[in-house]
Structure 1
Amino acid sequence: MSRPSLLSNLANACEQRAQDGLLRRLRTVSASDGIYLVSDGKRLRNFASNDYLGLARHPQLLEALIKAAKQWGVGATAAHQLGGHRDEHAALESELAAWTGRERALLFSTGYMANLGIMQTLLHPRAVCVQDKLNHVCLIDGARLSGARLKRYVHADVESARRQLLSEPEAAALLASDGVFSMDGDIAPLRALADLCTEQQATLMIDDAHGLGVLGDNGEGSVAAAGLDAQDVPLLMATLGKALGVAGAFVAGPADLIEGLRQFARTQIYTTAMPPALAAASRIALRLARDEHWRREKLLRLIAFFRHGASQHGIVLANSPTPIQPVLIGASDSAMTVSSRLEAAGFFVPAIRPPTVPENSARLRVTLSAEHEESDLAELLAALVAAGVGSR
């Protein structure tokens, strides 16, 4: 008998994806400058960046990065517990904990690794993990890899979440949700979820990758903006590569939780620590995100301007109060066509298609930055109309 070829299976899957018009194609950026990038020789206005506060190229971050690299070198050279944990890491963890109102924080190299590590540490085959159906894939993967029973509830539907918890009344339970949903831009019903977890004696975890820096009086994120504290949401995860413009992630919570993750989270223990220079730059980004309120205020004005303009032009947007402003198209081929027309007009707005989003919900994921101006948004809206979106 002949054994099936794993490589052939993978090639066939790629071919099928291409036939379905869903093959992902990598774009290489050869230069970037503020809201502009250069790809395939074309200078495009970028509306696909998660650099919501415009900090990624801030001169103070660059200065901190270069200074720390000269002191510490390019890499940490080891895992945190084997000599890779430097002064910059320790200071950043303390400052993240203070900013988010938690006892302690723990750094991870990426948000994906953070969520896998949390789930693998906390959950076990007798536990249940209840999650929003539109959660980021790393939360879903983390629950599956933990061996726990994964139950998903209708998006943002607290009663659906309650039914899932009640279906496993004797099991230890973790309820996990994005704070801000990455493809829709809407905010989870955080207060209601916290009340539900209190009622059902479940632990609440919020992934605030797209809320940190953007929401809250001082940028503490969606949890603080909802008026919730560390008791309401004991497990907070967020990334440093979105609004802070750097890279990496962290988990913040009670001291016992953080110590447990430090002891047992395999994705933190068995990987090289983030470069100390990145930690140094992240500390500056944290301070700017916290203290420079004008960045969030400008974002709010840009969001209102874009949504008002879209309404006037008949452009259908998802119901989002955040810098993530999805232009809903529907069919994948139509979304690709509009994206190509926008690129020809000088705008970089990639189409988001299944399996990243549900079938028949392809969209252009427009993301706004404090570096944009209202004139940039007005020109994008005009280009959308010219590309066949909305009404003339």
Structure 2
Amino acid sequence: MSSWERWFAEQRRAREAAGLQRVLHPKPVDEDVVDLAGNDYLSLSGHPEVRQAAAEAALRWGAGAGASRLVSGTTALHAELEGELAAFTGNQAALVFSTGYHANLSAVTALADRDALIVSDAHVHASLIDAARLSRAEVAVVGHNDVDAVRGALAGSGARRAIVLTESVFSVLGDAAPLDELAAACAEHDALLLVDEAHGIGVLGDGGRGLLHARGLAGGPHVVCTATLSKSLGAMGGAVLGSTGLIDHLVNRARPFIFDTGLAPAPTAGALAALRRLRAEPELAAHVHRRGAELADRLGVLRSAGAVLSVPMPSPRTALGAREAVREAGVRVGCFRPPSVPDGVSRLRITSRAGIDEQRWSRAVDVLADVIDEHRRTP
């Protein structure tokens, strides 16, 4: 056995001892389970119009984009999606990427360098953390939703360009950022506020236009929005939204955009069809909130600002046990353990969803309430 293989084995044994080993669980296409682990909040991934649009795009354009978007990988579908995304969210322009991860990497690394300051909320997504590291800028990590700490960091930025990183709805705890106060602080110090709306688009604001739109901040001169196409829009990919000047800068400077193959035609068309479906059914977002409130009340936890419900558990092993117990009863939920949780507390992560019939939803709520109550009492 090589030294590397011994090291791999040692690392695995350490993870297993701590209850932190992760494995992949391929799901069959016809699995009979209520999925409350995924991020398909509006159940648009399986909508007939969305599936049809994706299938037709693959047949017409092929399986892949074929090149980076600056070579020959930009299709009419990309331009159409970007125009409608920008209009829907209240921005001048948008740029679509192959993943939401790439959207965050691109926005941060193209806007910040050694001469910039990044002020980052302690709970931002891993993609923003990685982007800040890759930018080579000075990074000040501040307490979660601590506006005073943000103001203090910006006050000490001097003449440097400064960017504040946050999420509209945080992916683990499900709480919302104080966007009004953060935007005011950024405007005061001529800093940019970059808001990841991955868990806001489709769920928050008028018809699911996002929290920035709801707060009247979308398209503002000090605001940059990033988003994903893989959650409420049920496809895959990501986007950066903002001014035409911002998008022009990203096209020319964002390495994850310049050197990556463009988003494939099928998910591009699928996301576009899902966006149009969302415009046609603005009540979908309200349905998600009603279900989320019902579930939070049954489980005795705080209501979520969006669709993500966080249920603290006593330990990683207890969280795993609860997840497996509900799975055996026909319900899938997420299980977040260190290092995926920003505060080190193992949790069940449950998402409220439209598109599940009332009978199956009610049974899933009953299963969750019974199993979680039992496992909370387990040391």
Which band: TM-score by shorter chain?
A: over 0.9
Distance 1:140 1:388 in 2: 32
Distance 2:369 2:76 in 1: 52
Q: Is contact 1:331–1:360 with CA below 8 Å preserved after alignment?
A: no
Which residue is 2:349 aligned to?
A: 365
Q: Is contact 1:212–1:238 with CA below 8 Å preserved after alignment?
A: yes
Counterpart residue identity of residue 346, structure 2: A
Q: Specify every segment of 5 or more residues in structure 2 that has no aligned partner in the other structure, as ranges.
A: none
Which residue is 1:165 aligned to?
A: 154
Which residue is 2:184 aligned to?
A: 195
1:143-162 correspondence runs (5 A)? 143-162=132-151
Which residue is 1:78 aligned to?
A: 67
Q: Is contact 1:116–1:267 with CA below 8 Å preserved after alignment?
A: yes
* TM-score normalised per structure 1: 0.90
Distance 1:323 1:234 in 2: 24
Distance 1:7 1:377 in 2: 45
Q: Is contact 1:302–1:373 with CA below 8 Å preserved after alignment?
A: no
Deviation at 1:353, TM superposition (A): 0.7
What CA RMSD, in Å, does the superposition of the two structures yield over aligned residues? Answer: 2.0
- Percent identical across equivalent pairs? 36
1:57 correspondence with 2:46: yes
Which residue is 2:266 aligned to?
A: 277
Q: Which of 93, 118, 121 is the aligned partner of 1:132?
A: 121
Distance 1:118 1:191 in 2: 21
Distance 1:9 1:162 in 2: 44
Q: Tell me: CA distance 1:355–1:67, structure 2 relative to 1, closer, same or farther (3 Å).
A: same
Which residue is 1:19 aligned to?
A: 17
Q: Is contact 1:52–1:242 with CA below 8 Å preserved after alignment?
A: yes
SS in 2 for 1:304: helix
Q: Tell me: CA distance 1:326–1:388, structure 2 relative to 1, closer, same or farther (3 Å).
A: closer
Distance 2:87 2:37 in 1: 31
Deviation at 1:338, TM superposition (A): 1.2
Q: Tell me: CA distance 1:184–1:86, structure 2 relative to 1, closer, same or farther (3 Å).
A: same
1:167-192 Cα offsets, whole Å, 9 max, x none, are 33332100010111011111111111
Q: Tell me: CA distance 1:203–1:7, structure 2 relative to 1, closer, same or farther (3 Å).
A: farther
1:83-110 Cα offsets, whole Å, 9 max, x none, are 1111111111111111122111111100
Q: Is contact 1:220–1:290 with CA below 8 Å preserved after alignment?
A: no
Deviation at 1:266, TM superposition (A): 0.7
1:233-262 Cα offsets, whole Å, 9 max, x none, are 531110100000011011111111101100
Distance 1:159 1:319 in 2: 25
Runs of 4+ in 1 over 6 A off after TM superposition: none
Which residue is 2:35 aligned to?
A: 46
Q: Tell me: CA distance 1:151–1:5, structure 2 relative to 1, closer, same or farther (3 Å).
A: farther
Q: Specify every segment of 5 or more residues in structure 1 that has no aligned partner in the other structure, as ranges.
A: 33-37
Counterpart residue identity of residue 137, structure 2: A
Counterpart residue identity of residue 310, structure 2: P
Q: Which of 310, 317, 327 is the aligned partner of 2:311?
A: 327
1:1-392 correspondence runs (5 A)? 8-32=6-30, 38=31, 43-231=32-220, 233-310=222-299, 315=300, 317-358=301-342, 361-387=345-371, 389=373
Distance 1:349 1:191 in 2: 32
Q: Tell me: CA distance 1:265–1:6, structure 2 relative to 1, closer, same or farther (3 Å).
A: farther
Q: Is contact 2:109–2:254 with CA below 8 Å preserved after alignment?
A: yes
Q: Is contact 2:164–2:193 with CA below 8 Å preserved after alignment?
A: yes
Counterpart residue identity of residue 369, structure 1: R
Distance 2:222 2:89 in 1: 11
Q: Is contact 2:217–2:223 with CA below 8 Å preserved after alignment?
A: no
Q: Tell me: CA distance 1:19–1:302, structure 2 relative to 1, closer, same or farther (3 Å).
A: same
Distance 1:102 1:148 in 2: 27
